[in-house]
Structure 1
Amino acid sequence: MQPAQGAAAAARQQLGAVRESRAPGRGALASAVRGEGWGSRPACPGLSRRGVYLLKVLLYGLRVEMYRLQGRIVTVLDKFVKLAEKQPHKPFLIYEGKVHTYQDVDRRSNRIAQVFLHHGALKKGDTVALLMGNEPDFIHVWFGLAKLGCVVAFLNFNVRSRSLLHCVSSCEPKILVKDISVWIMTKDSTFPSVHTLLDKIEAASEDPVPVNRHSANNFKSSVLYIFTSGTTGLPKAAVISHMQVLKGAAGLWAFGATAEDIIYITLPLYHSAASLLGIGGCIELGATCVLKKKFSASQFWSDCKKYNVTVIQYIGELCRYLCSQPVKEGEKNHKVRLAVGNGVRSDVWREFLDRFGAVKICEFYGATEGNICFMNHTGKIGSVGRTNFFYKVTIYLHEPIRNKDGWCEKVKKGEAGLLISKVNAKNPFFGYAGNKRHTEKKLLCEVFKKGDLYLNTGDLMVQDHENFLYFWDRIGDTFRYNRSLFTFQNSPLTSFPPDHEGKAGMASLILKQNTSLDLGQMYKQVVTYLPSYACPLFLRLQEKMEMTGTFKQQKFRLVDEGFNPSTITDPLYFLDNSKKAYVLLTKEVHEMILSGKMKL
């Protein structure tokens, strides 16, 4: 491990030279399929930016298909091990000023694999749940378990209680019942049933475990479980195959990132954007990444300058948080050239470019468990990508409404509709672990003809007359409050108070007959079982819930009415953390919230 001083210099010094690019003739095609020069920028005279992108997609597909035909399964882990041999002293991770080279990470992950091999009694194919924040040992443990052929389940450290238990059980309930063991990253433990890792890692061998422990037999075999946010129910474990990891890892490369880039990762590693696109993408390129414990808007650009970052990852709100920071001198004085992510609004997109300079925004669309992805490689503001002869898009009405013949109907260009994706052998949907019902609920049968099968993405999209796609909305209400994202399918939203971002959640409740609401117990249940960002700030007691003509809860009127007790006759309550209870929302309390005198 290199010292903190000179970390950025070491990273840049060892990034290597760009290979001489070749025109997309037969030789270039062959070298690309073989994987030569994969991290360098391709020069393709005569081709438009869109043509270059489509060529890259084609070449990557050909390479994977050749692997399949030759019976070669080359995983992202295999690529990392090769890179550790090829460029052992090149920085792979920079974390809090410390440099971890490819060799460092490879050797420490070997130690962890040896610990679990000799102390953990793990077999190839066993599932191990990983509950850690952003730090190098997250990656060390992930890679170490992968070297044993284990399926690693990334747990969101924000979930708790019943949700956390559900996550563990949905990964592998038999192991949970018969033989569950807990390992913690410490040297000692007062609990006899909890095993320690750090002391055993120090004593373990750096020798690699046998390759046959992790060799993959099929691109479609499971390698990870990545959980959905649990915002529309309990979190679901999306099954991630080797193929999906490879596709995710190719994202940065497809947008033009190279081995010379330094990638800044502030998103949580338990999320596919950071783990697959970020860490996996870094391996695909042979590049360096700067890992942050937690996103900080105030430290973002200073970190980028300190470590000479050239590629950043974002979610839409992240860009907005950066734009909401006080303006500072020299904000365009950085080396960031690419920003890759999803969910940025058009107005924020424009403001970001105006304020922080000529950064290419690379917006994409995709879901962890989805089987379709779109990438905006042209920079058209607001779009998530464009359909082409590789990716055909199907958008139909907001709900699976069928005509008199029993078939669904596609929407016209310019109209919002539900995005669905065809499911077949070449475009599979791997679903969720632990509950077949969740997988089946995502599928639509016989949509346009007998025997067809489609994945319901749950996203409303619009396609314009140039075939550019735009995200319109999510089925279910999504709201952001206090820099966190949450979604309720059956709860209204109330407009946010002044000086607070986004919208706040309001739970509309109907009590059973002859019962009363225990506000203290309600508070206790909410803060115990929900992440802080998911706790409803307001309660509204109703005698009945208005329904739509299709028997769905009518929430829009509740949203419009907000939380003003002067105009709402139903009892309203407010989450008061100082009193550890929900308190009656009076006109006086309402005015204090609006004036900022009462802290939210």
Structure 2
Amino acid sequence: MFPSWATAVAAGLVSLHFLQKLFFPYFWADLKYLLKVARYGLRVEVYRLRGSVSTALQRFGALARRQPDKPFLIYEEQVHTYREVDRRSNRVARLFLEEGALARGDTVALLMSNEPDFIHAWFGLAKLGCVVAFLNCNVRARSLLHCIASCAPKMLVVGADMLGTLEEILPSLQENIRIWVMAKESTLPHVDTILDKLEVASDDPVPANLCVANNLKDPHLYIFTSGTTGLPKAAIISHLQVLKGAAGLWAFGATPDDIIYITLPLYHSAAALLGIGGCIELGATCVLKKKFSASQFWTDCKKYNITVIQYIGELCRYLCKQPVKEGERNHKVRLAVGNGVRTDIWKEFLHRFGDIKICEFYGATEGNICFMNHMGKIGSVGRTNFFYKLFFPFDLIKYDLQKGEPIRNKHGWCERVKKGEPGLLISKVHSKNPFFGYAGNKRDTEKKLLSGVFKKEDFYFNTGDLIFQDQDNFLYFWDRTGDTFRWKGENVATTEISDVIGMLDFIQEANVYGVSVQGYEGKAGMASVILKPNKSLDLEQLYQHVVMYLPSYACPLFLRLQEVMEVTGTFKQQKFQLVQEGFNPSEISDPLYFLDNCKKSYVLLTKELHDRILSGQVKL
């Protein structure tokens, strides 16, 4: 017979367990996740206190020695082991070291699409202590020149499939930028080739002191982001941010035995930091694709025994739109890591493709805040609690959509929203949680900071995103603010598009914004334009112009011709009402047009065409 005290203790434990399940149902899951994150942070801090700054590149070198024959990268059926990638990146480093054109701390811009030599060039240049700037392959002409100028590179390395883009900008490039192409020969003037020289370059390691970081806060990469306004900006990615990004797959439960499928572009942080960096953190294998293919996706997953996939919301929607195939659930994928998937697509994806844990996260390339939905809660971008806010303080504040600014009370302070109400996400900036800003752009760096939020001299990073928090502390993305919208998985800066359209001699003013389209992730681009006096709208010329100067995802799909451009009291273009009105010709009296790639022109948007777009008969 049990003593009375044992019975009382047992009853108490049962009661505590019941109360915990009732009032704190996520306690143990939160604790497990936080302990995991804390352990990783402690490891980084111990290295720092020892005076040993350990970077992701150094970890890769250690893995190349520890598991040299393990596949690191599989591309088009060709296997690249850890040792092979290490040695080829050594060749890249040796080539440029012997050329004597680079010094530690110099910037080198990389204009390459997904291929193994993107990684070899990245690692090789990093071994020389260079900062590598990832240029968006879709950006062209004026915008590309702006990106190159903003990061002030000593050198530009271009992929063989990007020579057409290079040829467009070559006459306008600064003379002091040396240009190299990933080819054996080139007919372009003043352009050097790489592949022929790599064949004879040594694969011996370069002196280790070249790539040793003095501080984890030193810059390692520049990754371009649209930000909230204007042309693309070079977000400074420190060694610390690379380490944080690389820990993402591990934090979600990936292991060294996993095989990760990367179809997203390497010039974005998701593929580069979370994908490639995540493989390095785990010591795992990744399968790299040149481009995403919805029809080939699950075939590849079965062929390569993929266990972890990366996604953006648009990717999941494309997969769900594919015709149903027999055996499409016959795969080994267990984790899907990414962001931006809609709740309805999330449910459809799970129902159709099997028991896959979708690990949604939230984070901006240049931001100092990240949320991870480690619970798999459908629709949520992450979860918070008291301990998380202790280490990563953030707030959701009231925001005026029409004025485009935070709401301040009579004392000048911002106010927090209640649970369930959307608010502007801001994250406190301090020494342990810094914001590194943009290369060569002090003005835009300062614009991303809010000061005097809750007290004098406090500073918060303004994400530009509206988030709401439910009663269980799960977080949900609601909308973007400012002059940016997201389409095809890319952030699109409206002012850049307005500037491009404004180059036409018959356009007096252009107001660009994003509109929701039924069945699609993000918002499609729409431009409201006013013509110059005595000028007519040339729809074919407008089409040719935007296709030439803008990446495909940034070309406005819809056009609205207005006589007067509405502005706010401070003479800013009024977008709020235009966004609400959308592109329905039955409700808008102004002429509306649609970008038709088949006819290579903008065409009149009729009710019939509008209905076909909404029904999915016309693909966007």
TM-score of the pair, normalised by structure 2: 0.83
Are the structure 2 counterparts of residues 587 and 306 from structure 1 closer, same or farther at C-alpha, using a change threshold of 3 Å? closer
**One of 54, 57, 70 as aligned partner of 1:90:** 70
Whichever residue aligns with residue 529 of structure 1, its letter is Y
Matches of 1:345 and 1:245, distance apart in 2: 27
Deviations 1:180-212 (A, max 9, x none): 111001111123410000000001001010001
Greater Cα offset, 505-514 or 291-300? 505-514
Matches of 1:110 and 1:350, distance apart in 2: 45
| Residue matched to 1:373 | 370
Shift of 1:510: 2.0
Number of aligned positions between the proteins: 554
Shift of 1:355: 1.6
Matches of 1:372 and 1:517, distance apart in 2: 45
CA contact (8 A) 1:564 1:590 kept: yes
Matches of 1:543 and 1:243, distance apart in 2: 51
Matches of 2:516 and 2:359, distance apart in 1: 31
CA contact (8 A) 2:414 2:453 kept: yes
Matches within 5 A, 1:62-461: 62-119=42-99, 121-172=101-152, 177=174, 179-229=176-226, 232-388=229-385, 389-391=387-389, 392-398=393-399, 399-461=405-467
Matches of 1:590 and 1:462, distance apart in 2: 32
Matches of 1:488 and 1:68, distance apart in 2: 42
Deviations 1:128-180 (A, max 9, x none): 00011111110000000000110000001000001100010000178774621
Whichever residue aligns with residue 364 of structure 2, its letter is A
Are the structure 2 counterparts of residues 448 and 133 from structure 1 closer, same or farther at C-alpha, using a change threshold of 3 Å? same
Give the unaligned 5+ runs of structure 1.
Answer: 1-46
Matches of 1:222 and 1:451, distance apart in 2: 26
Deviations 1:312-333 (A, max 9, x none): 1111121122122122222222
The alignment status of 1:470 with 2:476, answered yes or no, reads yes
CA contact (8 A) 2:307 2:332 kept: yes
Whichever residue aligns with residue 104 of structure 2, its letter is K
| Residue matched to 1:11 | none
TM-score of the pair, normalised by structure 1: 0.86
CA contact (8 A) 1:476 1:487 kept: no
Shift of 1:537: 2.9
Shift of 1:479: 5.9
Deviations 1:334-362 (A, max 9, x none): 11111111111222222222222211111
| Residue matched to 1:544 | 564
Matches of 2:249 and 2:461, distance apart in 1: 25
Matches within 5 A, 1:532-571: 532-547=552-567, 553-555=573-575, 557-559=577-579, 561-563=581-583, 568-571=588-591
Deviations 1:210-247 (A, max 9, x none): 00111100111001000014784311100000000010
Matches of 2:203 and 2:602, distance apart in 1: 55
Greater Cα offset, 227-236 or 101-110? 227-236
RMSD: 2.8
Matches of 2:328 and 2:48, distance apart in 1: 47
The DSSP-based 3-state class of the residue aligned with 2:192 is strand
Are the structure 2 counterparts of residues 577 and 264 from structure 1 closer, same or farther at C-alpha, using a change threshold of 3 Å? closer
Matches of 2:242 and 2:262, distance apart in 1: 17
Are the structure 2 counterparts of residues 118 and 501 from structure 1 closer, same or farther at C-alpha, using a change threshold of 3 Å? same
Shift of 1:544: 1.6
Are the structure 2 counterparts of residues 495 and 255 from structure 1 closer, same or farther at C-alpha, using a change threshold of 3 Å? closer
Are the structure 2 counterparts of residues 599 and 88 from structure 1 closer, same or farther at C-alpha, using a change threshold of 3 Å? closer
Shift of 1:549: 6.6
CA contact (8 A) 1:153 1:224 kept: yes
Whichever residue aligns with residue 355 of structure 1, its letter is R
Are the structure 2 counterparts of residues 527 and 286 from structure 1 closer, same or farther at C-alpha, using a change threshold of 3 Å? same
CA contact (8 A) 1:114 1:209 kept: yes
Are the structure 2 counterparts of residues 409 and 85 from structure 1 closer, same or farther at C-alpha, using a change threshold of 3 Å? same
CA contact (8 A) 2:109 2:153 kept: no
Greater Cα offset, 511-520 or 265-274? 511-520
Q: Percent identity?
A: 74
Matches of 2:615 and 2:316, distance apart in 1: 28
Are the structure 2 counterparts of residues 553 and 192 from structure 1 closer, same or farther at C-alpha, using a change threshold of 3 Å? closer
Matches of 1:173 and 1:102, distance apart in 2: 29
Matches of 1:589 and 1:339, distance apart in 2: 36
CA contact (8 A) 2:229 2:483 kept: no
Matches of 1:468 and 1:587, distance apart in 2: 40
